[in-house]
Amino acid sequence: MRTDTSPPDPVEVARCLGLVRLYPGSTGEVAALRGVDASFSSHSVTALTGPSGSGKSTLLALLAMRDRPDGGTVTVLGHDVASLSGRDRRRLARTGVTWAPQRPTDGLFPHLSAAQNLEQAARWRGAPRAEVGTLLRRLGLEEVADVRASRLSGGEQQRVAVGCACIGSPPLVLCDEPTAELDEDTAALALAALRDAARSGSAVVVATHDPDAVAASDRVVGLRHGVLGTEQAVGATVHAAIDRAGRLQLPPAALTLFPDQRAVVRVEGDRVVLEPPDRTGPADTGGERS
Ligand SMILES: Nc1ncnc2c1ncn2[C@@H]1O[C@H](COP(=O)(O)OP(=O)(O)OP(=O)(O)O)[C@@H](O)[C@H]1O
Ligand SMILES: [Mg+2]
């Protein structure tokens, strides 16, 4: 039963059906996407995971309406993108969709300061100007607010790009590896801003290799060779079979926790704990304490 404090029901913001994207390659066409179906709803953060080259950036660029598919359809806020005029598509992109590209500088005005970049994004979306100061503070950018984007460090540029994507909580927020340039503390600030946008209603989609970004998401969608693999809610229980040799196949959301494909296995009574090696001390990895 709905109460006054329960979150609003999610609404579908974007959908892709049978998406195909082909690129010319040296030995013929490369299929970056081979028939992807996916749906993204308000009030949620989706982590888009998958190995390098699996099609994550390609999918985000299509959802951002910056590229056209070779097959299939993209629907954003109820509009079939292919049927929109260039003008309507630009208007929809400006007001309803934000895209922070994999190289943050691609999405910023280099000659404008950090604050001016955020102000520009706020104007496009009709967001209150007060949000600029709030976001600069929350992203740890107050001290560089007046520095031109071209002079900022890679991590500062990345946080400005996340701020521009989140300001005004637009319906669809697309961020391509938003924590790639960040340390643990500043990544936490960026992820908190993305979660805030989702809390305010955005459908947030984050392409990422970062286990902390996956952990901050509501669901994980895995791409492999341009095909959507498994999808699951973060924190969901999955049942996995163990083969006769004792091998266990981890679900994709768990796999991202083990980027080096190495794990420390600890038996604790009737539980088995799997951890990445860098989270355990020397005693846990079998070394002896002196
Ligand atoms: N403009 C392009 N021209 C030719 N091939 C491209 C182009 N853009 C992407 N590709 C190819 O499409 C495939 C998917 O690329 P994409 O950038 O979407 O991968 P990704 O999952 O984002 O990888 P990463 O994690 O390294 O960012 C790759 O094989 C890539 O080489
Ligand atoms: Mg990419």
Which value, to the nearest 10 degrees, does the dihedral of the CA atoms of residues 65, 68, 71, 73 take?
A: 20
Angstrom CA distances, 152 to 55, 111, 122, 160, 273, stand at: 29, 11, 20, 9, 42
| Tens digit of each residue's pLDDT (9 = 90 or more) over 146-197 | 999 999 999 999 999 999 999 999 999 999 999 999 999 999 999 999 999 9
Does 52 contact ligand 1 (Cβ within 6 A)?
yes
Percent of the chain with pLDDT over 90: 67
Does 32 contact ligand 1 (Cβ within 6 A)?
yes
Percent of the chain with pLDDT over 70: 84
Q: Name residues whose C-beta falls within 8 Å of residue 242's C-beta, 6 or more positions apart in sequence.
A: 248
Residue of 56, 67, 177 best suited for mutating to test ligand 1, as the one with most atoms within 8 Å of CB? 56
Long-range contacts of 256-259 (CB under 8 A, 24+ apart): 256/47, 256/49, 256/209, 256/210, 256/211, 256/214, 256/220, 257/211, 257/214, 259/209, 259/211
Does 23 contact ligand 1 (Cβ within 6 A)?
yes
Q: What is the DSSP letter of 148?
A: B
**pLDDT on residue 268:** 78
Q: Are 118 and 164 in contact (CB under 8 A)?
A: yes
Which range has the worst mean pLDDT, 67-71, 101-105, 106-110, 255-259? 255-259
Q: Are 171 and 42 in contact (CB under 8 A)?
A: yes
**Residue, of 175 and 282, whose pLDDT is higher:** 175
Q: Which pTM was predicted? A: 0.82
Q: What mean pLDDT value characterizes the chain?
A: 87
Delineate the domains of the chain, giving CATH numbers in brackets. 12-233 (3.40.50.300)
Centre of ligand 2 from the C-alpha of residue 113, in Å: 26
Centre of ligand 1 from the C-alpha of residue 11, in Å: 30
**pLDDT on residue 254:** 65
Does 30 contact ligand 1 (Cβ within 6 A)?
yes
**pLDDT on residue 289:** 40
| Tens digit of each residue's pLDDT (9 = 90 or more) over 208-258 | 999 999 999 999 999 989 998 766 666 655 556 676 677 776 665 566 566
